């Protein structure tokens, strides 16, 4: 049996002026759907460090604070069927975060160099996120489920 790919996903929440979740869309691949920052945990990398790194690489946003772990999900990749284990984290957005921006992905992952349009989407979300990434949002606040 193939061991799961170990991943993290971030719910970066802006509380004021109203609750909103950091999401992004692929500029050059809109069919990928709206997503939250997520990605692999490196060998020996602490998951909390990994989630902060993924947020910075995929959105350019820094200065957010990790609040807590929300849960762990074992689900295969929707396209490849490969096993993966994702730990979801709640983060508070930095107070000076912009409402919306475009970012070129950093790091050395498969998405390096891609362009993402980032924004804070009002909660509860009007539309579901790609790949069921919104599954844990109700554990932050049941009104957002």
List pLDDT tens digits, range 39-85.
999 999 999 999 999 999 999 999 999 999 999 999 998 888 999 99
Average pLDDT over all residues of the chain:
95
What pairing do the DSSP bridges indicate for beta strands 5-14 and 84-92? parallel
Domain ranges of the chain: 5-121
pLDDT in tens, 86-98: 999 999 999 999 9
pLDDT of 108 reads 82
pLDDT at 7: 97
Cα–Cα distance for residue pair 24/26, rounded to 1 Å: 7
CA distance 127 to 59: 20
The pTM of this model reads 0.95
Strands 38-40 and 5-14, by their bridges, are antiparallel
When the candidates are 3.90.79.10, 3.30.1360.200, 3.20.20.140, 3.40.50.300, the CATH number that belongs to 5-121 is 3.90.79.10
Calculate what percentage of the chain has a pLDDT beyond 90.
89
Q: How much is the pLDDT for 2?
A: 85
């Amino acid at each position: 049996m193939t061991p799961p790919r170990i991943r993290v996903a971030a719910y970066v929440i802006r509380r004021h002026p109203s609750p909103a979740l950091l999401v992004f869309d692929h500029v050059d691949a809109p069919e990928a759907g709206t997503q939250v920052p997520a990605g692999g945990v490196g060998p020996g990398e602490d998951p909390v460090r990994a989630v902060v790194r993924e947020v910075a690489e995929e959105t350019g946003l820094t200065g957010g604070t990790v609040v807590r772990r929300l849960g762990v999900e074992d689900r295969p990749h929707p396209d490849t069927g490969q096993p993966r284990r994702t730990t979801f984290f709640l983060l508070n957005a930095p107070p000076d975060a912009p409402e919306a921006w475009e970012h070129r992905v950093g790091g050395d992952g498969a998405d390096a160099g891609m362009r993402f349009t980032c924004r804070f989407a009002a909660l509860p979300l009007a539309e579901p996120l790609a790949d069921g990434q919104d599954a844990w949002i109700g554990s932050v606040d049941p009104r957002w489920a």
